[in-house]
Structure 1
Amino acid sequence: MLTRNSVTWGFLLLALAAALLAHNYQQPVWKEQSYLYETFTDDTGRLMYRNKGDVLPVDNIVAYQDSPLRQANLDTLQGEPEVKKQWVQKDDGQVMMLQADFHYGMWSLLPAFVTIALCLICREPIVALFAGIVTGAFMIGQFDITDKVLIPSLATPSAAGILILYLWLLGGLTGIWAKTGAAQAFAQSMTRHFVRGPRSAKLVTWLLGVIFFQGGTISTVLVGTTVRPIADKAGVSHEELSYVVDSTASPIAAIMAFNAWPAYVQAFLFVPGVAFLATEADRIAFFFDSIPFSFYAILAVFGTLLMSLNIFTFSGRRLRQAHQRAASTGQLDAPTARPMSSGELHKVKVPEHYRASLWEFVLPLFVLLGIAVGTFVVLGTPKVNWAFGTALLLAASIALVKGMTLEQLLDGFGDGLKSVVVASIVLMLAVTIGGISKYIGGGLYMVDLLGESVPFWALPVILQLITMVIAFSTGTSWGTYAIAFPLAMPLAWVIAQDQQLANPELYMAVCFATVLNGSVYGDQCSPISDSTILSAMTTGCDLMDHVKSQLFPAGLAAGAAAILWTLATFLAQ
């Protein structure tokens, strides 16, 4: 009889064998990618461009027809191109950067497929992610996994940011709150004054998710950290809580887009010859004009509100069972659950002489939110590290002033680190597998499958499905945007012109919304997404229990959105 371990090992060996076959026999397929940056002339007359806040020179411009990175030249290429990036100028004077990217055909999906499959088979995210990393490394012929794959990936600013924020700052802050009893005091106060049971606790969670509309990891960390002590006290199952936290993160950011999303996304929306996408201001306005078509995000947020009101009509069997289990037995997790945060934060270890106050929770929380929102308003981007670092120092200072010894404080800080160390490892491995999937062209291959000869009414749903798969496989919506938008928007314009649609702008708005929302769905439901992992971690839920329980309501919202997008395309006729 096959056991789970034998299936896991058998599947892994087959995956590694397939990766070696792909490395030896599959040639890369090179694809031309064009990127339009904001260019300007400086005081010396030199052409410059802006990229991620940096101002850099535009050097060595060549005519587009002469570029070796033009698709016609890449199609006849033997081996690798001499250059991978090049500035070019088209006949109409437009300057853009060409880049040669590649994929390995269907083999490009192998690392992501292995990761997702093993997550479902063995329920061990670390094993699944590491297996996906090894599979991807074998595909590109890199067998020194430690020195050539893991260390370069983990020695990046993004990985360092994960380590500092989610391990030291988040773990340390929650550990100190547990040691001082501040979290319990806050939960008791909220329970007395606002929360009357599981329903009101979930409504508070939903409302905070709407208020913290920055989206992604910012929202999940802030909401999850704030509401867990309240929800645990009220008896809300961790599956329900993590679903509310996750489903009011990126979905609400897509429809309340007063955040960093429009500024990031607009850079991928330029289509030559399309007047309403000509300037950055035009593209940001196009983003906001398309919000009414964000059907998935609207339905996801509304469906989460219904579940918060204990209306489980559209929530699925798993969430209903989790609700019934918590109500009848008081068990917040399933019997087989392995929560991502350990029990350190839930053991009462407050020193006998110490008297906790809810203000020890509220003041650092207000400082945290004030810095995060304030830096977004002033600087255009929320400085989350500053916010959590200041809140951590304030919580520690209050504890020391009230009489807690330094040894006791560090003991609580250490317990907090222990509670999130596994999740931090998962997050860093997720960064690595995402980088490998992008490098071998997994998303590029999925988009490359789509031809131009499709009915106009079918394109939005096709784009939705492709971006859902890309984001689910790579665990990132923003990475999916960078891959899909530069290809989807020109394709939508070509189809609108070829099939002579009367309102091409509306049609492109619908196609834009499908890419935006399909990516949000895939990211939200992926077990290797940082927001999914953080939703489970901050609410104390088993990762795969969270993933499985939200698949049905999210899938239902995505299916309904697909129907609405298809119907909306006929308005463009």
Structure 2
Amino acid sequence: MNKLQNKLTFLCIILGLIGALYVNLYVSATWVESRIQYQTYLTEQGEWAYVKQGNEQIISDVTPYEQSPLAQHKLNLLTSEPEIKEQWVVISDVGQNPILLRADYHFKVWSLLPAFIAIALCLISREPLLALFSGIVVGAFMLGKFDISQEVLIPNMATTDAASILILYLWLLGGLMGIWSKTGAAQAFAEMMSERFVTGPRSAKLVTWMLGVLFFQGGTMSTVLVGTTVKPMADKANVSHEELSYVVDSTASPIAAVIAFNAWPAYIQAFIFVPGVAFLATEADRIAFFFSSIPFSFYGIFAVIGTLLLSLEFTVFSGAPIRKAISRARLTGQLDAPDAAPISAKELQETSVPEGYNPHWIEFVFPLVSLIGIAVVTFIFTGTPQIHWAFGGALLIAVLFALGKGMQIREMLNGLGIGWKGVVVASVILMLAITIGTISKQLGGGIYLVDLLGEELPFWILPVVLQLLTMIIAFSTGTSWGTFAIAFPLAMPLVWDISQNEMLANPEVFMMICFAGVLNGSVYGDQCSPISDTTILSSMTTGCDLMDHVKTQLVPATFAASIAAVLWTLCALFMS
């Protein structure tokens, strides 16, 4: 960093800490009533129950809404934290089925401070580790947690999510990439593809695009699979890392929202139950509603089309930053900007094949095919792809290939070490990203943004308002699935109420349009956020500088989101 960047970074951190201490000392939490509407039913014993994660849960005690201490009119009178945080209630004007009432809180616009500091520092300093850690410290101070290691880092890193990151992205993915680097398998695959299929940047990007569409499970699995597969051949074809990371990232979650034969519908349907709405009554109804809304997933559709156009070298809609990266790579052969600092280590971008070992492309393809096969088979039989099994099986096969071809155990272990060292920084960044996302959720940033909505909005503007709110929430927290959990339970009842108040002729279509606005807004925010796992992994697996990826991707993604906003507004006006 230069002197100006150092000064701005220092100033940003100091102002963030001052703001955090001010909130901790002088700003009271605003408590908000949240209604969680499960599909409840009466058992044969006459008890109310609901199904959660496949298991029946009995509701032991139900209170009239007016008597609940969590009703909004009572939360408004609070001067301290409520004694209970959630309670089952019956609301007479809604129906007889119990609703889970929960007390959430936020600090108004201050709730967004940690995410703002982290994102601002990413842009100013281009150092994601410093930016994320600073955002975590600011958020912790706001919550009164001044022992960062004991009260914040250790609790968050001692979770299932953190353990999953360490096992999957550090041990398994890092080990697999290290073995491929040691055996030269990735380079052999690149040379084979270059000889038979890839003749230049266009064909390399088209292969990348097709693989992104093929791996339509979305999220981290898609970015890792596609990124690690295409990087060797794309580098050989002189494709800039900014181009490559954009195509990889923009065919991950966007394609999963459009080709939704994955875990998304089953996950999201649990959040969109609205009492009294017949077409959302059962799980099957809600999944059918998801698929019926796919034609309105305009952002996902245009994001995927945009990457196809870029792959075909049609760059009108790609933006000046990507065009600049393309020109640099084609004219100078430099795949990264001069000041770039990729988050994957240089060891993984080089090969260190032992003397006498003959690399073969099948050593790259066979583990990759087994990885995809295990993921697909486990998805068919368990309902979700078992990613750890898939990567573990691929790593085992790659190791057995190397040993079977005569590689010494010492050399194989050296390859694993190279891989682990190569992804350790990215793994730490991912863990810090999860931590700041958790803190942002605790501070109620998403709750505050959704709480800004009111039932007085004109119906035709609601899809775009929901899109913008979820874009901000997902960008601030770095997660689309977390945004779904925050936004859908609050947005869907609001959309239904507005459709009834406005006496719309086609309320179901209006619900689909607004549903698509929430879904696609969340995808956009997650995809463009520098603290998102898919953004970080797209950068890591393609060897791109994180902030270069964010800045170059932001232009075409925003263009697609703008077109989607116009189309949602027109659909709301003329189809509802």
Native 8 Å contact 2:218 2:252 kept in 1: yes
Judging changes above 3 Å, is the alpha-carbon distance between structure 1 residues 498 and 442 closer, same or farther for their aligned structure 2 residues?
same
Q: Secondary structure at the match of 2:87?
A: strand
C-alpha displacement at 1:354, in angstroms? Answer: 0.7
Aligned match of 1:198: 201
Q: Secondary structure at the match of 1:3?
A: helix
Q: Matches of residues 238-277 of structure 1 in structure 2 within 5 Å?
A: 238-277=241-280
C-alpha displacement at 1:494, in angstroms? Answer: 1.6
Q: Secondary structure at the match of 2:260?
A: coil
Q: Secondary structure at the match of 2:487?
A: helix
Q: Matches of residues 37-116 of structure 1 in structure 2 within 5 Å?
A: 37-39=38-40, 47-91=48-92, 92-116=95-119
Native 8 Å contact 2:342 2:543 kept in 1: yes
1:183 maps to 2:211 = no
1:164 maps to 2:163 = no
Native 8 Å contact 2:357 2:407 kept in 1: yes
Q: Matches of residues 309-348 of structure 1 in structure 2 within 5 Å?
A: 309-348=312-351
Judging changes above 3 Å, is the alpha-carbon distance between structure 1 residues 544 and 311 closer, same or farther for their aligned structure 2 residues?
same
Q: Secondary structure at the match of 2:384?
A: coil
- Paired AA for residue 322 in structure 2: L
5+ residue gaps in structure 1? none
Aligned match of 1:287: 290
CA distance in 1, matches of 2:551, 2:201: 21
Native 8 Å contact 2:239 2:335 kept in 1: yes
C-alpha displacement at 1:458, in angstroms? Answer: 1.1
- Paired AA for residue 69 in structure 1: L
1:404 paired residue among 387, 407, 410? 407
Q: Secondary structure at the match of 2:31?
A: strand
- Paired AA for residue 501 in structure 2: D
1:369 paired residue among 352, 368, 372? 372
1:27 maps to 2:12 = no
C-alpha displacement at 1:281, in angstroms? Answer: 1.2
Aligned match of 2:538: 535
C-alpha displacement at 1:529, in angstroms? Answer: 0.3
C-alpha displacement at 1:493, in angstroms? Answer: 1.3
Q: Secondary structure at the match of 2:343?
A: coil
Aligned match of 2:5: 4
Q: Secondary structure at the match of 1:77?
A: coil
Q: Secondary structure at the match of 1:226?
A: helix
Q: Secondary structure at the match of 1:101?
A: strand
C-alpha displacement at 1:88, in angstroms? Answer: 2.4
C-alpha displacement at 1:319, in angstroms? Answer: 0.8
CA distance in 2, matches of 1:206, 1:53: 36
2:353 paired residue among 347, 350, 353? 350
C-alpha displacement at 1:419, in angstroms? Answer: 1.0
Aligned match of 1:435: 438
Aligned match of 1:36: 37
- Paired AA for residue 265 in structure 1: I
Native 8 Å contact 1:36 1:267 kept in 2: no
CA distance in 2, matches of 1:252, 1:82: 44
- Name the TM-score, length of structure 1 as normaliser: 0.98
CA distance in 1, matches of 2:266, 2:408: 46
Native 8 Å contact 1:501 1:572 kept in 2: no
C-alpha displacement at 1:57, in angstroms? Answer: 3.6
Aligned match of 1:229: 232
C-alpha displacement at 1:311, in angstroms? Answer: 0.4
- Paired AA for residue 63 in structure 1: P
1:419 maps to 2:405 = no
CA distance in 2, matches of 1:31, 1:52: 26
C-alpha displacement at 1:74, in angstroms? Answer: 1.4
C-alpha displacement at 1:245, in angstroms? Answer: 0.2
C-alpha displacement at 1:62, in angstroms? Answer: 2.3
* Deviations 1:482-539 (CA, angstroms, capped at 9, x unpaired): 1111111111112111122111111111111011000100000000000000000000
Aligned match of 2:123: 120
CA distance in 2, matches of 1:57, 1:156: 27
Aligned structure 1 segments of 4 or more residues deviating by more than 6 angstroms:
41-45
1:560 maps to 2:526 = no
- Paired AA for residue 296 in structure 1: Y
CA distance in 1, matches of 2:337, 2:375: 34
- Paired AA for residue 201 in structure 1: A
- Paired AA for residue 517 in structure 1: N
Native 8 Å contact 2:40 2:97 kept in 1: no
Native 8 Å contact 1:504 1:572 kept in 2: no
- Paired AA for residue 476 in structure 1: T
- Paired AA for residue 52 in structure 1: Q
CA distance in 1, matches of 2:404, 2:212: 33
Q: Secondary structure at the match of 1:335?
A: coil
CA distance in 2, matches of 1:176, 1:49: 48
CA distance in 2, matches of 1:51, 1:30: 26
C-alpha displacement at 1:67, in angstroms? Answer: 1.8
* Deviations 1:425-476 (CA, angstroms, capped at 9, x unpaired): 0000000000000001001101111221111111111111111111101100
1:385 paired residue among 368, 384, 388? 388
CA distance in 1, matches of 2:170, 2:306: 32
- Paired AA for residue 532 in structure 1: T
Equivalent residues, number: 573
- Paired AA for residue 526 in structure 2: D
C-alpha displacement at 1:45, in angstroms? Answer: 6.8
C-alpha displacement at 1:55, in angstroms? Answer: 4.4
CA distance in 2, matches of 1:348, 1:488: 51
Native 8 Å contact 1:525 1:547 kept in 2: yes
Q: How well do the aligned residues superpose, as a CA RMSD in angstroms?
A: 1.5
C-alpha displacement at 1:53, in angstroms? Answer: 4.3
User: Once structures 1 and 2 are overlaid, which stretch shifts more, 32-41 or 344-353?
Assistant: 32-41
- Paired AA for residue 162 in structure 1: I
- Paired AA for residue 223 in structure 1: V
- Paired AA for residue 450 in structure 2: V
C-alpha displacement at 1:73, in angstroms? Answer: 1.8
- Name the TM-score, length of structure 2 as normaliser: 0.97
- Paired AA for residue 147 in structure 2: D
CA distance in 2, matches of 1:68, 1:332: 60
C-alpha displacement at 1:78, in angstroms? Answer: 2.6
